[in-house]
């Protein structure tokens, strides 16, 4: 049974990172009703920006700066793409985010080349003994930091004025604007926040794997499985399903077969969608058929 605990922890740590990316997608969906296919590539961008900064400054400063840069990148995407396409159908907006994903991937290939690169960890190296089995230090930090971030976001959305306004915007855009909610300003903020979350994901995931410009898409596919199960509007639901999927993937790979590692999240998602076509959480636009 010596493999169970490490696999479980590996599942928790990847699940935690995917929860960060998933919450970014939920934020964008809350604010603008659109699905952001480029969220995975924002994570890749975050990892490469962090890599570039580590060369010039101590790791923690690099982490901080990366989060700020990605915050502005998220806001810029909202201004350049989402504002002009506001009244287009949701699918066209989703397709536009593909354009962003392609541009980020190609930009990174030009800037950093396509060879995989390793990223120094800002949160410790090597392994530490927990319950007798050596576990990577980084994954323990990842789980801890993600928990803190989610607690912070929960507080932001439940108790602060900004949080209430964002939730009002998500509930009913027109009415919220009528009540004086500064929709465009808030949009910029929520997109920026989703960029910052992606940056954190990049900083935490980067050192534990090798980063390459093309890795964004496989991450977003996994995250979509979690978002579909957790529902597009509930941060908690999405975070929980991301972690569950992360652990399920590791255990299935360990104990069933590793040839289908990438397929497990989809199999779980498809099985669930066939049972409940609108996802587990509160159904949003329930298409009545």
Partner 1 sequence: MTSTRASTGTRANTALGSGLVCYLVVGYVIAAGGDGYLLTVASLAAVNVVLAVGFSIVYAQSGQFSFATAGLAAAGAFGYAWFAKHMPAEIALVAAVAATTVLGLAIRLATIRLSRLYFAIASVAVGGLITIVLVNWESLSGGASGVGPVPAVTFGMVDGEELAGVFLIAWLLSAVAVAAGSLLYRSAWARDLLVVKDLRHIGQNDGLPIRRLELEAYAVHAAFTGLAGVMLASTGTFISIASFDISMALQVLIMVVLGGSGRVLGPVIGAAVITPLPEILHGAGKWSGMVYGITLLIVLVALPDGVLGLWDRFRAWARARLVRPGTVRVEGGSP
Partner 2 sequence: MRVRNPGARHVVALVSLCGLAAAGCGHLGGGGGSDDTIDIGALVYQTGPLAQKGATNNLTMAADDINAAGGVDGRKIKIKFYDIGGLTPQQGRTAAQRALADKPDALIGPSVSAQTNAFLGLLPKAEVPLINVSAQRESDPGQPQGNPWTFRIYHRVDRMAEAISRVMAEQLKAKNVVVTHSTDDTSTHVKDDVVKDLKAKQVKVMKIASYTPEATDLTNAALATRGADAVVALGYPQPLGLMVKQMRANGIKSPIVFDPGAEAGVKLLSPSDLTNTSMVAACRPQATQGQDPVAKKFMDAYTSKYPGSYVNGYYYEAVQLIAQGMRNSKGEGGAKLREGLAAIKGFKGICGESSADADQNFIHDYKVVKLDGGKETLGGIVSGLTGAY
Closest CA to 194 of 28, 46, 53: 28
Please choose which of partner 2, partner 1, none residue 96 contacts, taking the beta carbon within 5 to 8 angstroms, the exact cut-off set by kind.
partner 1
Phi, psi at 134, each rounded to 5°: -70, 130
User: What span, in angstroms and rounded, lies between the C-alpha atoms of 134 and 145?
Assistant: 20
Site for partner 2 (CB under 8 A): how many residues? Answer: 35
- Residue 116, token pair as written in the block: 């995989």
List the x/- string, 248-267, binding to partner 1 by CB under 8 A: -----------xx-xx--xx
SS3 148: helix
Is residue 168 near partner 2 by the rule CB under 8 A? Answer: no
259-288 residues in contact with partner 2 (CB under 8 A) are 259, 261-262
Contact 143, 205 (CB under 8 A): no
Convert residues 96-115 into a mask of x (bound to partner 2 by CB under 8 A) and - (unbound): -------------x---xxx
> What minimum distance in Å lies between the beta carbon of 51 and partner 1?
19
- Choose the one of partner 2, partner 1, none that binds residue 102, judging by a C-beta under 5 to 8 angstroms depending on kind: partner 1
3-state secondary structure 79-115: HHHHCCCCCCCHHHHHHHHHHHHHHHHHHHHHHHCCC
Complex with partner 2: residue 51 or 169, whichever CB lies closer: 51
Task: Determine how many CB atoms are found less than 10 A away from the CB of residue 238.
Answer: 29
CB atoms within 10 A of CB 153: 19
Site string for partner 1, 107-146 (x = CB under 8 A): x-xx------------------------------------
Residue 106: other Cβ atoms inside 10 A: 11
Distance in Å, CB of 28 to partner 1, minimum: 13
> Which member of 214, 244, 272, 284 binds partner 2 (CB under 8 A)?
214
Nearest Cα neighbor of 146 from 21, 1, 289 is 21
Contact set with partner 1 (CB under 8 A)? 35, 81, 84-85, 88-92, 94-96, 98-107, 109-110, 217, 221, 224-225, 227-228, 232, 259-260, 262-263, 266-267, 269-270, 273-274, 277-279, 285-287, 289
């Amino acid at each position: 049974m010596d493999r169970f605990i490490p696999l479980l922890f590996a599942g928790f740590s990847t699940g935690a990172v995917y929860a960060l990316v998933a919450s970014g997608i939920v934020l964008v969906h809350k604010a603008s009703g659109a699905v952001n296919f480029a969220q995975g590539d924002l994570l890749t961008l975050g990892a490469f920006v962090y890599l570039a900064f580590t060369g010039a400054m101590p790791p923690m400063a690099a982490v901080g700066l990366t989060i700020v840069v990605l915050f502005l990148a998220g806001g810029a995407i909202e201004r350049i793409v989402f504002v002009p396409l506001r009244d287009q159908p949701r699918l066209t907006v989703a397709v536009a985010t593909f354009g962003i994903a392609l541009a980020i991937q190609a930009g990174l290939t030009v800037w950093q080349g396509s060879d995989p690169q390793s990223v120094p960890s800002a949160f410790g190296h090597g392994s530490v003994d927990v319950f007798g089995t050596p576990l990577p230090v980084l994954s323990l930090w990842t789980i801890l930091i993600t928990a803190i971030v989610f607690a912070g976001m929960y507080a932001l959305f439940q108790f602060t004025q900004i949080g209430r306004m964002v939730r009002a915007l998500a509930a009913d855009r027109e009415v919220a604007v009528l009540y004086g909610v500064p929709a465009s300003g808030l949009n910029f903020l929520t997109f920026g926040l989703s960029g910052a979350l992606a940056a954190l994901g990049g900083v935490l995931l980067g050192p534990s794997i090798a980063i390459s410009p093309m890795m964004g898409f496989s991450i977003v596919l996994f995250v979509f499985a979690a978002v579909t199960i957790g529902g597009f509007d509930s941060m908690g639901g999405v975070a929980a399903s991301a972690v569950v999927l992360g652990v399920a993937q590791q255990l299935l790979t360990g104990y069933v077969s590793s040839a289908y590692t990438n397929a497990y999240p989809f199999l779980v998602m498809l099985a669930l969608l066939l049972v409940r076509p609108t996802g587990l959480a509160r159904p949003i636009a329930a298409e009545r058929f």
